[in-house]
Amino acid sequence: MSNNIKNRSRRNFIRNGFTGLAGAILVPTVIRKDRESISLQKKGKKFIYRTLGKTGIKLPIVSMGTYNATAVTNVALDAGIVHIDTSADYNKGNDERMFGEVFKKRPRDSFVIGTGIGMWQFRKADQIKNTISNKTLRDYIEGSLQRLDLDNIDIYYLGGIQHKEIVEHEPYLKILKEYKKAGKLRFLGVTTHANEPEIIRTATDGGVFDIVLTAYNFRKKNRKEIKEAVAYAAGKGMGIVAMKTQAGVYWDRKKKEMINMKAALKWALQDENIHTAIPSFKNSDQLYEALSVMENLKLTPQEKADLKLNQGSSSTGLFCSQCEECIPQCPADLDIPTLMRSYMYAYGYESPAKARETLDYTGLSNVPCINCSSCSVKCTSGFDIKKKVTDIVRLKDVPEEFLAG
């Protein structure tokens, strides 16, 4: 992009007045640098460990998810975090490169790294024929090994699985087993945000995968079914890792009411079949708050009230359950669940780069909602789909330099 085009894009961005979106994009996260990297374990704090299924790996029940959270990595490792989860897709592989630099200064047996390749673009079961090539999968694996500068990766995931056909795709399984046999991938896993019960059971029964990383929180509409599938998988020796435990961070788009982060994490970890969870930390305060749940996993009456466990909420919040009931309702066949995830990343998690990356998975080149006088989609979470879609797709017009960091 030439300087003239960059400047013009910048002026257009400001002139168009992306008030809410600009706030999510342009307000940087403040990283506390005055907090010492003191191990909670050395201070006598209680750490709860669980074994990650048949892998035999014992982990603290709080691990670390990452996306633009690399600044706090050393603090987290020094504080007692063992497992770090990332992806080759994050910041175009740059997160892996950063972790590679961090790991050079640490004993190999002091950390457990999980990474993988995202497959969000294949939301329909019949798209299996259009998935990445075998060569591409090999290139991704080799690329992760090189960027992390490691001889082996502890957990390698096929990420963002929405339909069981990917989990059962024999060409991929053959490659993964080959790398595992060679010792380059210690354990294999899948990640899922949608159709979780089916994906969890399929991965468990297939006999190839060792770990499932699943969305799991108090706001999931199918949380009962996920809990049952998790129990089934854990009973068969699968390692279970929970993500999206914070359920969008805020109850409302304007960020006037924040979800009780500590209570939300406790809720997920009360299930003993969840072996560890991977909330993201952008600063040391968030890290230490997450670690403090291990002092007592029991929800207090106030925490239960904060999570509104026994009542309906008038706020639809930012968290999309990924139930996919919206997809057949949309005449434009939009990938609404992915668009809603992008919206959540921008406004809830304040991660515009990840929001843009997720938005790009949809392949949208325009905003078809503009052509609809009214939206025919009835969201089970009460979202105004047209409003949220037209809002979040504006990210496509934002220069990438505004999204970094």
The string of DSSP letters for 128-151 reads GGGS--HHHHHHHHHHHHHHHT-S
Q: Which two tokens stand for residue 87?
A: 């992806």
d(CA 171, CA 156): 16
Strands (DSSP E) contained in 44-125 are: 49-51, 58-60, 64-65, 83-85, 112-118
pLDDT at 336: 78
CB atoms within 10 A of CB 372: 16
Higher pLDDT, 131 or 182: 182
pLDDT at 154: 98
pLDDT at 402: 65
Mean pLDDT of the chain: 80
Q: Which two tokens stand for residue 116?
A: 């993988």
The model's pTM: 0.78
pLDDT at 332: 76
Query: Hey, where are the domains in the chain?
Result: 49-307, 320-402
- pLDDT > 70: percent of the chain: 80
At residue 190 the predicted structure's pLDDT band, cuts being 50, 70 and 90, is: very high
Burial of 325 (0-12, 13-18, 19+ CB in 10 A): middle
CB-based contacts of 278, cutoff 8 Å, min separation 6: 63, 64, 65, 83, 85, 213, 241, 242, 243
Contact 247, 341 (CB under 8 A): no
pLDDT digits (tens, 9 = 90+) for 225-264: 999 999 999 999 999 999 988 887 777 767 778 888 899 9
At residue 80 the predicted structure's pLDDT band, cuts being 50, 70 and 90, is: very high
φ, ψ at 309 (rounded to 5°): -65, -25
pLDDT digits (tens, 9 = 90+) for 25-43: 443 333 333 333 344 444 4
CATH number of 49-307: 3.20.20.100
d(CA 252, CA 140): 37
Contact 147, 100 (CB under 8 A): yes
pLDDT digits (tens, 9 = 90+) for 344-379: 777 766 677 777 777 776 777 677 777 777 788 888
